[in-house]
Amino acid sequence: MYWNQDLETIDRPALERLQLSRLRAALERSVRAPFYRTFFETHRVDIDTITTLEHLRDLPFTTKADLRTSYPDGMMAVPRRDVVRLHASSGTTGKSTVIFYTQKDISEWADLIARSMVATGATPDDVFQNMMGYGLFTGGLGLHYGAERLGCLVIPSSSGNSLKQLQLMQDFQATIMHITPSYALHLVEIIKENGVDPHDLTVKKAYLGAEPYTEATRKKLEELWGMDAYNSYGLSEMNGPGVSFECVHKNGMHVWEDFYIIEIIDPDTGAVLPDGAEGELVLTHVNREAMPMFRYRTRDLTRIIPEPCPCGRTHRRIERIKGRTDDMFIIGGVNIFPSQIEAVLMAIPEVGNNYQIVLERDGSLDKVHVKVELYSKMFHGDMKELQTLRKKITEIVRSTIIVNPVIELMEPGSLPPSQGKAVRVIDNREQR
Ligand code: DLL
């Protein structure tokens, strides 16, 4: 099942011709934005010389810092009256970064979402409960318009308010939910606490994204909820969700290449890496009118899966995001990604649905504390059993990250629950 078969199964030469003509048009549009005029001048780039896709490499990278410099509207490439929406990501420091959309941009974004949903087997018969935050964040409104475009009944429940979510799910027989993996882990517990077996609900699919999570977490969620979970990747700078989505094969996410040009680079040198090599994802949005974006460094680490997908879509897939270059922390000289810890934790049957990594400085030594919630059945008064479990978890985590962790076992509900993007790592080292 396709949303737009011609575009989704387009052959590579035709796809590349389409990319190039859209890229040329985007470059020409971009110079209406004050930011790009200065940017190309400073980097001495003559956009007329970009006449093949290979020439894209002659353009400098753009970064989040460029979005901040151009705040509020230095990257707007159309007259303001043509812009119909903005979204923003708050970020942890400094000014937010703002993205603009024309009517056409919003409509094309909705199409990409509808296309993504159909790739997972969704149909107009589905009831879509959208538990991502509505507002400046792109997760809520982004999927909303796409699900409506497909013809689903949309429940715009937004994030949080777990009992209301359950009631809506039951009363309107939601079949698909859109939710962050960390909130899905929390919500399923609330549902069980209220005496409902999640397997009895009508929800059969979940779209999980907006934050990194591991295959072990996907499996755990699929089992807890009794549904199929699909990975969805996107970022505000590239519209939001709908950049890349898994199809029914659930084996890597198709990047919609008629809209996005993918490159994988070495994050240290900026060199473009061959298909299949792991590195930082760099994206160019070739079709947005209000705000073109070239060679944007996402900071997300992944690799292109070069093999064709059995679904017949010709758009290449990327692997699950391993983490962000800025998420990585270094302990005793060892580089560690939170995802490495999550992957082993979530595969341990006694481990519950929440965890947190806290980095502490102990004298001159850095220590990784991992706070792990267990299922309540583990707390029946047998200290010895808990000690053995703590040892087991310590050993499993140590063998994965090659650093000795301090494992703290917690009762369910003792860590701050997530309703959106979870804070997985707290670094207390700088404050000492
Ligand atoms: O999180 C857009 C989105 C909404 C994607 C809903 C999927 C579903 P931002 O707030 O700008 O936009 O955050 C983007 O979140 O660079 C990744 O680091 C991370 N991220 C998003 N999806 C995934 C995913 C939205 N499936 C940043 N796996 C990105 C891992 C993800 N990380």
- What is the structure's pLDDT at 432? 46
Query: Is residue 432 domain-resident?
Result: no
- Cβ of 139 less than 6 Å from ligand 1: yes
DSSP 137: S
Ligand 1 geometric centre to CA of 211 (Å): 5
> What CATH number has the domain bearing residue 369?
3.30.300.30
Distance of alpha carbon 307 from alpha carbon 415, whole angstroms: 41
Same domain for 112 and 174, yes or no, is yes
Query: Where a domain ends, among 293, 327, 361?
Result: 327
The residue whose CB lies within 8 Å of the most ligand 1 atoms, and thus the one to mutate among 235, 236, 255, 285, is 235
State the distance from the centre of ligand 1 to the C-alpha of 212, rounded, in angstroms: 8
Residue where a domain stops, chosen among 284, 309, 327: 327
271 and 415 share a domain? no
pLDDT at residue 92, as a whole number: 56
Separation of alpha carbons 144 and 156, rounded Å:
7
DSSP 8-state symbol, 308: P
Q: 315 and 339 share a domain?
A: no
pLDDT in tens, 317-328: 999 999 999 899
From ligand 1's centre to the CA of 264, what distance in Å? Answer: 17
3-state DSSP percent of the chain in helix, strand and coil, to 5? 35, 25, 40
List the one residue out of 412, 423, 415, 420 whose CA is nearest residue 192.
Answer: 412
Residues with Cβ within 8 Å of 423's Cβ and at least 6 positions away in sequence, in order, are 356, 416
Which residue range forms the structural domain that includes residue 386? 329-427
Span from the CA of 240 to the centroid of ligand 1 (angstroms): 7
Q: Are residues 280 and 362 in the same domain?
A: no
Residues 349 and 405 in one domain: yes
Total domain count, the chain: 2
Whole-number percent of the chain with pLDDT over 90: 95
Tell me, yes or no, whether 55 and 173 share the same domain. Answer: yes
Query: What does 209-256 look like in DSSP terms, one character per residue?
Result: ESS---HHHHHHHHHHHTSEEEEEEEEGGGTEEEEEEE-TT-SSEEE-
DSSP string, 176-189: EEEE-HHHHHHHHH
Q: What is the pLDDT of residues 245-293, one digit of tens each?
A: 999 999 999 999 999 999 999 999 999 999 999 999 999 999 999 999 9
Whether the per-residue pLDDT at 60 is higher than 50: the answer is yes
339 and 382 in a single domain? The answer is: yes
Of 282, 303, 327, the last residue of a domain is 327
